[in-house]
Amino acid sequence: MSYRLGRLPAQIPAGLRDLTYYTAGPLPKPPPSVAVPSVADWGVLGNDTYGDCGVAGLEHAFEAAAADTGEHEAFPDDQQCVDYYLNYTGGQDSGVVLSRFLAYVRRHGYYGHTISAYAHVAVHDVPTLQFAIDAYDSAYVGITVSQGMMDATQGSPPWTWTLEDLSGDELGGHCIILAGYNSSWLYGITWGQVVRIAYPAWHQMGDEAWAAITGEDIAAKTDGHGISLAALQADLNKLSR
């Protein structure tokens, strides 16, 4: 089966700080492991035909949050995901800049789902990345996909990406979520499946990472888990002026 990419180069908005800036002290220590939320069908969400991985990845983040918080919600199907993507891009299959897309969804919502706040995470800061996965149910991340990684997705899931799979030509940027971890693996969701990512492989493929606090988290009456939501939202509001 063929899959598509569609993440454009990372942009960190001026005036938005790293997630750790918004803490009153050290971040709470994440647990040793977090299981991937139980979702019956993550959905490819059109990402086998269009480069809508940024949109599909965010829908997967909403699905993870709903599963973890116990919210019973309906989610858009593949065509609705593609329609949202094409409406966002003006009808062009041009991909998305993750930070710009997060800002757009924060302003406009996504089929009734919302983003309350978001901040970037230093991509190789594994403890903070794990904190985001535990606290906010996933991390919304950008990676570079190689031919070896794409080849690994042709086998039976769950797929695995190790250093050996980073071989071959670089094919382009892609968006996935990280929805679980343990001492050996990060667990990503992409193209409707779970993929195990070895930490050494992550340090080579990872390009950007975002903690997104969803409406599902807010509905579950969770706080910022050590993050000052008010300060983070104030900085985000300045960006939208």
Question: Whole-model pTM above 0.75?
Answer: yes
Q: What is the pLDDT of residue 46?
A: 98
Domain that holds residue 85: 30-239
On whether residue 21 sits in a domain, the answer given is no
Nearest alpha carbon to residue 195 among 59, 42, 70, 8: 42
On whether residue 206 sits in a domain, the answer given is yes
Q: What is the pLDDT of residue 55?
A: 98
On whether residue 19 sits in a domain, the answer given is no
Q: Could you read off the pLDDT tens digit of each residue along the chain, which spans 241 residues? A: 789 999 999 999 999 999 999 987 888 899 999 999 999 999 999 999 999 999 999 999 999 999 988 877 889 999 999 999 999 999 999 999 999 999 999 999 999 999 999 999 999 999 999 999 999 999 999 999 999 999 999 999 999 999 999 999 999 999 999 999 999 999 999 999 999 999 999 999 999 999 999 987 766 555 567 788 889 999 999 987 5
Q: What is the pLDDT of residue 221?
A: 55
On whether residue 3 sits in a domain, the answer given is no
Distance of CA 107 to the CA centre of its chain: 18
Cβ proximity of 96 and 54 under 8 Å:
yes
Q: How many domains does the chain have?
A: 1
On whether residue 7 sits in a domain, the answer given is no
CATH number of the domain that residue 164 is part of:
3.90.70.10
**Residue 154, Cβ density class (10 Å: 0-12 exposed, 13-18 middle, ≥19 buried):** exposed
On whether residue 1 sits in a domain, the answer given is no
On whether residue 14 sits in a domain, the answer given is no
